Amino acid sequence: MKTGIAFIRGIGMFGRKKYSKQKILNCLKRIEDKNLKIVGIYNKDNIIFLKNGDIHYAIVGKKIEKQLEKCFNEKFYVTTRGLSTVKGLIKNIKN
């Protein structure tokens, strides 16, 4: 399985969308299946997941958006990236 990160826009910013890590994690654990496993949360807006090669990162993002909307009754926007992409970005940051 490949590791990915889902970035959730706007959680906890400006006093809006204040949800605990545990509530978010409990919500997202419901979408786990043979193709997707939610591994954890960093801060409140970064979801670490494992995905099967058969499912695209964008599909994982849509699943997360829909599940969050179902749990919290409001719109969410999610962007996903593979761990290799994130590592590449970090490696190329010039100080």
Q: What is the pLDDT of residues 4-52, one digit of tens each?
A: 999 998 776 655 677 888 999 999 999 999 999 999 999 888 999 999 9
- CATH code: domain 2-91 is 3.30.70.1280
The residue among 10 and 80 whose pLDDT is bigger is 80
**Alpha-carbon span 84 to 40, nearest angstrom:** 18
CB neighbour class for 18 (10 Å; exposed up to 12, middle 13-18, buried from 19): exposed
CA angle in degrees (0–180, nearest 5) for 89-32-34: 95
Claim: this prediction has a pTM higher than 0.75: yes
The one-character DSSP state at 12 is T
Token pair, residue 24, equals 């978010």
Local confidence band at 78 (pLDDT 50, 70, 90 cut-offs): very high
